[in-house]
Amino acid sequence: MQSGILKYERFLFALGGNAILKKDDSGTFDEQLRNTYTSVSGIVDLIGRGRKIVITHGNGPQVGNCLIRVERSSDEIPTLPLFACVAETQGEMGYMIGQALVNRLNDAGLKLPVATVVTQVVVNPNDPMMKKPTKPVGPYYLKEEAVELGKSRGWIMKRLPDGHYRRIVASPHPEDIVEAEAIKLLIDSGVVVIACGGGGIPVYRKNNSYIGIDAVIDKDRASALLAKKVGIEVMVILTSVDSVYLDFGKITQKAINEISIKEIKEYFDGGHFPAGSMGPKIEASIDFLNGGGKVVLITSPQVFEKALKGEVGTFIYP
10-15 and 52-57 strand pairing = parallel
273 to each of 3, 158, 193, 203, how far by Cα in Å? 24, 16, 30, 28
Beta strands in the chain (DSSP E): 10-15, 52-57, 114-116, 120-122, 135-141, 157-159, 165-169, 176-177, 192-194, 201-206, 209-212, 234-238, 244-246, 254-256, 258-260, 295-299, 314-317
Q: Alpha-carbon distance 318 to 316, whole Å?
A: 7
* Residue in 18, 35, 59, 65 annotated catalytic: 18
Q: Which of 52, 58, 135, 198 is catalytic?
A: 135
Residue 228 known to be catalytic: no
Distance CA 91, CA 288 (A): 26
For residue 19, the one-letter residue type is: A
Q: For residues 82 and 214, what is the distance between their CA atoms, to the nearest angstrom? A: 5
Residue 243 phi, psi dihedral angles, 5° rounding: -150, 170
Is 151 part of the annotated catalytic residue set? no
Active site residue 206: no
User: Which residues, at least 6 apart from 243, have a Cβ–Cβ distance to it below 8 Å?
Assistant: 255, 256, 257, 298, 299, 312, 313, 314
Is 207 among the residues known to form the active site? no
Residue 181 neighbours by CB under 8 Å, 6+ apart: none
Catalytic residue selected from 16, 17, 42, 64: 17
Annotated catalytic residue, options 219, 228, 293, 313: 219
- Of 60, 281, 293, 313, the catalytic one is 281
φ and ψ at residue 272, rounded to 5 degrees:
-75, -25
Which residues have a catalytic role annotated? 17-18, 135, 219, 281
